[in-house]
């Protein structure tokens, strides 16, 4: 999340400068921030999901290429941060020894009564979309409908636990690959105004490289709101 905080800090500094009458830097592009929730199509084994605690944040630098007053291509690059809250019944372990066999990912029972139990994944994402402005536009302002795709490369992943241990609050963060796919890809739909709109992303790639013992391997969907124009 430190990347998100840094991007928002830059935005507020630029906004404050603009309000004070200072000239805003002429940067050939815009900062785009997606904030919403993520959902897996299925939960492997005994894993549980806390929907409202499972968040999705994307921070992208984007540019626009206009083909006409009604059609443009928007593209960019940035970070996609996915946090899946796994409930308190079980969690994920990476490179665990199970029955004398080293497993790349293993679902284990919760023995610590977790207050927080999350899997966090950071991707380098490249979103691309065509935007249609039914009433026309000059610089991308106004009502639009966007359809496109997104491709991402996993940068890192970790689990984060919070639990009580002998009367003290313990926080533990463990990095690993967790058998996660190195790449993700899918499609996206956006609708609204350039400055504020809603989005829907559906990744058709599996979250994990290999299915679990029960045959499950979820795909991810994110939905939320966007603010653009920082």
**Could you report the per-residue pLDDT of 162-183, keeping only the tens digit for each?**
888 777 888 989 899 999 999 9
Q: What is the pLDDT of residue 212?
A: 85
Helix, strand, coil percent values for the chain (each to nearest 5):
10, 60, 30
Paired residues of 97 in beta bridges: 102
- Distance in angstroms (rounded) separating the CA atoms of residues 207 and 217: 7
Q: Which domains does the chain have, with CATH numbers?
A: 29-228 (2.40.160)
Using one digit for the tens of pLDDT, what is the confidence trace for 97-156? 666 666 777 788 777 778 889 999 999 999 999 999 999 999 888 999 999 999 999 999
pTM: 0.84
Sign of CA dihedral 10, 222, 225, 194: positive
Mean pLDDT score across all residues of the chain: 86
Using one digit for the tens of pLDDT, what is the confidence trace for 20-31? 555 545 567 899
Using one digit for the tens of pLDDT, what is the confidence trace for 188-226? 999 999 889 999 999 999 999 988 888 889 999 999 999
Instruction: Look at residue 6 and tell me whether its pLDDT is greater than 90.
Output: no
- Distance in angstroms (rounded) separating the CA atoms of residues 16 and 6: 15
Instruction: Look at residue 18 and tell me whether its pLDDT is greater than 50.
Output: no
Q: What is the pLDDT of residue 220?
A: 97
Instruction: Look at residue 3 and tell me whether its pLDDT is greater than 50.
Output: no
């Amino acid at each position: 999340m430190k990347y998100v905080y840094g991007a928002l800090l830059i935005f507020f500094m630029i906004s404050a400068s603009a309000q004070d009458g200072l000239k805003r830097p002429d940067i050939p592009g815009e900062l785009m921030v997606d904030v919403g929730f993520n959902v897996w199509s299925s939960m492997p084994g005994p894993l549980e999901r806390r929907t409202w605690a499972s968040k999705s944040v994307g921070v992208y630098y984007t540019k626009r290429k206009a083909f006409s007053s009604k059609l443009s291509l928007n593209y960019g690059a940035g970070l996609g941060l996915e946090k899946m809250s796994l409930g308190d019944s079980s969690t994920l372990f990476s490179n665990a020894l199970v029955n004398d066999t080293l497993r790349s990912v293993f679902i284990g029972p919760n023995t610590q009564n977790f207050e927080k139990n999350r899997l966090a994944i950071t991707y380098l994402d490249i979103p691309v979309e065509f935007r249609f402005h039914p009433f026309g536009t000059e610089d991308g302002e106004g009502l639009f409908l966007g359809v496109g795709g997104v491709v991402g490369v996993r940068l890192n992943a970790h689990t984060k636990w919070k639990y009580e241990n002998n009367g003290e609050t313990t926080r533990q963060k463990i990095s690993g690959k967790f058998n996660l796919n190195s790449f993700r890809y899918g499609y996206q739909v956006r609708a609204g105004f350039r400055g504020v709109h809603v989005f829907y992303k559906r990744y058709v790639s599996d979250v994990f490289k290999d299915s679990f013992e029960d045959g499950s391997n979820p795909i991810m969907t994110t939905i939320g709101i966007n603010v653009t124009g920082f």
